[in-house]
Structure 1
Amino acid sequence: MDARFLGIAEISEAPSVAVVIDVMRAYTVAAWAFARGAEKIVLAESLDDALALKARHPDWVALKDGPPAPGFDAVNSPGLLRSADLAGRTVVQKTTAGTVGALAVRDASLVLCAGFVVAEATARTLRSHGCDDVTFVVTGEDGRAEEDLACAQYIARRAAGTVTDAAGFLHRAGASRAATELKEGVREGAHPDDVALCLELDRFPFAMVATPEGGLMVLRPHDVPSVGDTAVT
């Protein structure tokens, strides 16, 4: 598999297949939202767009980075979201990097959003689609976020069928700037368990696919077909 690892600003044209990585915390949060029963997640262009969607659909759950804010129902923290009852609900998500990355590749034929919690399901989806040319969007820190790059590289190896020990990749993510800031309480709207939750490998069995729906970019969970691994070393 031909894998490229690009920051958001480096995307000049729509790739064929894109995997958008945001480990800490957008796509860990998204996975938890689906695990808590959410039907779909609308990826908003801006905070104003998120609030406008919420105004038109009062039953939707609006979620953002940082501290709580008027008009928003939740913050971008897996630790704070994991006990929410989202059964059948639509979530509107706007984050600093993760949602921006997905919107930047909205014209790709296949857009997967991922973190370590859905790593294997994402890799299996790429294998089942026979994806030979994949662009991994490293959303954090202008493409330099170590936790996102480590996750992208791990998924790329698994998608290629390579037997891979995840420990080193998880260690890199756990030692990243984002992890340190979350542990030290630098980032607002966080929970003490956020880093540990973001580093739970394969916590969920589904992949997350984003597609245009009615002018919006919508993320949904997708069951992964059973496919045999063609592992190589």
Structure 2
Amino acid sequence: MTRRDAVLTELRNAVLTGQLRPGERLPEVRLARDLGVSRPTVREAIYQLIHEGLLVQEDHKGVTVATIDEATITDIAIVRTALESLAAKSIAADEDGAARARLREAWEVYDQAALSGDPALENEAHLELHRTIWAASGNVILQRIWPIVSAPINLALSTDVVVRHDQERSRRTHRELVEAILDNRQRDVTSAVRRHIQRSAAELLELLQARDSEQTS
């Protein structure tokens, strides 16, 4: 592992475990000193996390941990439900089985990552599972849209990892979604996608509201 990758992993883990909180500033000089690396190395890692949507760079504030609000969570869920339903139905109807095989492989990787206890590994596999649904659909437009929406989706998924800490629930809900697609239950696929995404979004909002209330009190 290069120094840049080591710093990237450490910062990503700090965000996903809540050690770095939403809105917290990341001074480049201090990070370089604390991690024992050069500022360019820290800068490369920070730029990658900005690209992933976990950090943001703002005028007069510098780099901070990304925050997500109720409207963003709701909007992401709406967009994902519409587009991921199209992708899932395409995979379910796949005639030669290649798309379903890709999805099954991505699911198995995610399932093992969820069991690992490593939040960064789980989050990476989680995002890859949903990316695979979009990509394996064979829909060129969905494949082109994914890079645009992947950062806010990653932010929502990573926030879920931070506040929920429930790997068993994540494994169960994803298994239900994947099985509906692999079994080609066309009538169930759309409802399974909607239930998976919108239920998770609603639960995440409740958890964030409870956390905010606790912090206020």
TM-score of the superposed pair, with normalisation by structure 1? 0.22
* Bigger CA radius of gyration: 2
TM-score of the superposed pair, with normalisation by structure 2? 0.23
Higher helix proportion, which one?
2
Higher strand proportion, which one?
1
